[in-house]
Amino acid sequence: MRRLGCHHAAVLRNNNSFGATTEMKSRPLKRRTPTIGEHTQVVLKHSLPSLGLAAGTFGVVVHVYADSGAYEVEFLSLEGNTLGVATVKAGLLSPVLLPAQMKGTDDKKT
């Protein structure tokens, strides 16, 4: 059976063990976005000049505001010093995935 991309819609025909043909409608594939929770390492997607934070600044989520789609984030320098704590909307953050969290990153040699 063929795997369809997220923009394709089709009807797939499949013969079962009794010789009957069944139809299956494909659905668009949903892309899984990692969830951001407390203690998640994040990176700022866009600069926040009012706070003196540049795009690419790393931080750690210290609180999740579930109703408003915002996070309280402690932003850190590369040396680990706190640059500040700010409430940031979800769309301005991206989770930092460590190699162990990424799929398909097996370092095993076959």
Which residue range(s) make up the domain with 1? 1-31
Neighbour count for residue 48 (Cβ, 10 Å): 16
Q: Classify residue 103: in a domain, yes or no.
A: no
Q: State the Cα–Cα distance between residues 76 and 78, nearest whole angstrom.
A: 7
Q: Are residues 57 and 20 in the same domain?
A: no
Q: In whole angstroms, what is the distance from residue 2 CA to residue 12 CA?
A: 9
Q: Are 45 and 94 found together in one domain?
A: yes
Burial classification of residue 83, based on how many CB atoms lie within 10 Å of its CB (0-12 exposed, 13-18 middle, 19 or more buried): middle
Name the H helices within 47-106: none
Map residue 101 onto helix, strand or coil. helix
pLDDT in tens, 4-49: 444 444 444 555 555 555 555 555 555 555 688 899 999 999 999 9
- Find tokens 């040396």 and name the residue: 79
Is 106 part of any domain? no
Q: Is 109 part of any domain? A: no
Give the total number of structural domains in the chain: 2
Model pTM above 0.75 = no
> 38-88: per-residue pLDDT in tens?
999 999 999 999 889 999 999 999 999 988 789 999 999 989 899 999 999
